[in-house]
A and B are shown apart, each in its own frame.
Chain A
Amino acid sequence: MSMSKFGDFNLRDKGANLWAGWDRPRRVVFVLATIAVVASLPFSGNFSFTNILNTPISSFQDVLVYPVGMFVLMALGLNIVVGKSGMLDLGYVAFFAIGAYTMGILGKHTHLNTWEILPIGMGLAMFAGVLLGIPTLRLRGDYLAIVTMGFGEIIRITALNTQKIGGPNGIANIPNPPSLKVPGVGVLDFNIMTPNSFFWLVLVLILLTIWMIRRLSARRPGRAWEAIRQDEDAAELMGVPTLKYKIWSFVLGAGVGGAAGVVYASKALFISPDGFTFNISVLILSCVVFGGIGNIWGVVLGGVVLAYLPERIRFISNARQLVFGLVLILVMNFRPDGILPRKKREKAPKAASESGVK
């Protein structure tokens, strides 16, 4: 495949080679240093050389939680479905909504706190994933895309028309998470004055998700997903239980979306169906494809760029969505595999990529 002048430049391969050459202590130091830098991002506004990162109008610390952190988390979850096993899901926002509404309803009407609701929200989202997955994952390509899109709309419209959960007004006064004692750091409070604690919470969730994906990718499920993505029929013939692994990837993705929803609701204190439109699904899919589909670091980068960019250019308030659209068109045209594409050897052969996303 001939590419443009810069097309063959693959930062991801360079990075992977570097990583492969390192011994264990060096890797540990590198990972810890990276985490430390990212975790100190909320303080970047205090220094003259980093305050260029600051977002006008909305507070930078809040932007780091939503949209940036949330989008990265959800993009990673969606990447399990779209990037790893190659199924086009246009209704990912449904799982986010299920998580958020679980938090809203249980948080207000029971004595459970956020930490107890988190597994419940994830569980419900995963259950919804199974319910949706079993009948629909036999469908392929664009048929799956529209059914998932429909599922996303069904969840939103149901929330909109059910007066018991607030209807169009949504749910207000959702409780914040209770304080958390972190050994060695102190007590982390979670309220409207402490966006940093939420950022670190989201960061922990992101790291856990990355860890989970990396573990699974190297093992049986990862290999099964790769086989399904490249050629589903061949995988089935080779004895891969394709439906089972497709449902698994769907359910894991749903769980991550549900977790994001729970945290979002307990940070935002208020949720309404307007926050869970089809546009969110499209945006998150854009993060995945824009950054580099199937590659964790690309997806993280895509989420960061696409969530941060509209906030950073808020001063041109009216035209910012226009700029966003132009960026999507330009980047996809000049780097169709995303900013940080997946490793070349993982790429599907041409024959399979023509039949495309299954």
Chain B
Amino acid sequence: MNAEALIQAVKDRVPQAVESSHAFRGDATVIVRRESILELARTLKDDTAFQMNFLMDLTAVDFSEFGTKPSPAFFASSGVPVRPPEATIPVEDPWPGPPGSWRFVVVYHFFSFALKHRLRVEVPLDEDDAEVDSITSLWGGANWLEREVWDMFGIRFRGHPDLKRILMYDEFDGHPLRKDYPVKKRQPLIGPIN
């Protein structure tokens, strides 16, 4: 299935789930309400029209400072001039932009080995209630990916069997890929602060 057909098929099967969608250079994206992610994921996996048997990736994006300023992490100390963020999205690029008032977006990439098609599913989340259903019951590989998203972004996954940190140590305070995590903050386990 090509991107447009894939989006249409998703809309036909689970119409209540899809909030919006877009396709860019053959890659389909559907933006989904968070109540429907488990139902949609099950449909994608089990429905013969999709046969998405492979979860390629599961990650998240923090849009809270998107487009407002260049990242201080790399350039502030180096003095390298930074190109300011583009004011407008180019017209030929149909990406609809950041998700409005939502802070986080959890991104799933599904792929079907049988049918060779790929779908990106995005679930926008609010800062106060950053929680979404876990899909570990469908793809076991989601287990560590969801733990990584919890570790880095502090997004909880409802129904995850063992939601704990995976990259950082247990004593670590905060979630380092959140945009409000201070760039200069250090939390060493041993040794002086450096």
Pair from one complex: no
**Residues in chain B within 8 A of chain A (CB atoms):** none
**Residues in chain A within 8 A of chain B (CB atoms):** none
